[in-house]
Homo-oligomer: A and B are copies of this chain.
């Protein structure tokens, strides 16, 4: 079996450390593993399969001999260093938003559009976390009937803003419980016992960047430029799983039955239906955290629109929303190029 030389850029971050754990546990066919990070983290060592691996400083020369480079160090670093990785012959799987809407860069959820992988020119982009989680629930339904419009409201965890933001949620909560003043550092507003509109920049349409990503990335992944989506993205005091309330409107007269929808979701890899009306048991972030599957439930006919279905989902933002999806892209690519 062929093995691969792999590099992780941003190995010490929230998503980077999840990359390590996934490569460790999935028996990824590694020939070697190189950990790259900014000067600040270089020199540290991280444990991997019983060994200690040193973290090297990221430079344009870091990618010699690398087959696959996972980037998860922000858009600026991806823009600066991904071209060097491609130049060196690596396949870049980029977790940032830097290249997602580039027409020459496939944007991939392996369960949904794996065939796009083959059109890469060195870079494959990993979609935004909220987009991935939404589409994992929407894609199976879309195989049943054409979807016309989606109205989505998110309940996004602190992890989407990184490990420091998760720590800020814990620290602020501690301060509130001890009646001490809260001083936001990562987020613009207190996150403990609070929630706020996603703190990304708002354009002339009034949509913030997270919402625009959900709209435009979904269209690209589904190859459906006419798909109508409105999104409201909200940060909530939860640690690492995002939830979403999704209203899915099908083409007039084509709405599937709830039974069909449920079967399609149950049969879809990476989705677990959690929908127990008797026990009032539905997707929750604490149950989605650490899970590879996106939990989907609250399936019901929309009483306000005979073509629509309502649902609610929770999925681990760091796993399927980031590191897991990227590793799955690599695995799918290995499979596609080996056959």
> A189 vs B281: C-alpha distance in the bound complex, in angstroms?
9
> A122 vs B152: C-alpha distance in the bound complex, in angstroms?
42
Chain B residues closer than 8 Å to A177, beta-carbon distance: 170, 173-174, 177
Q: Beta-carbon contacts of A276-309 to B below 8 Å, as 1s and 0s?
A: 0100101011100000000001111111110010
> A237 vs B301: C-alpha distance in the bound complex, in angstroms?
28
Looking at chain A, what size class is its interface with the partner chain?
A: 35 or more
A window 161-217: CB within 8 A of B: 169-170, 173-174, 177, 188-190, 193-197, 199, 201-202, 205-208, 215
Chain B residues closer than 8 Å to A153, beta-carbon distance: 153, 232, 245
Interface of A with B (CB < 8 Å)?
149-151, 153, 155, 169-170, 173-174, 177, 188-190, 193-197, 199, 201-202, 205-208, 215, 228-230, 232, 234, 236-239, 243, 245, 247, 258, 277, 280, 282, 284-286, 297-305, 308, 310, 312
Instruction: Given A195-B238, A202-B277, A230-B308, output 15 extra A-B contacts at Cβ < 8 Å.
Output: A151-B304, A155-B195, A155-B234, A173-B177, A188-B280, A193-B238, A194-B238, A195-B284, A196-B282, A197-B312, A228-B304, A230-B247, A234-B243, A236-B237, A245-B245
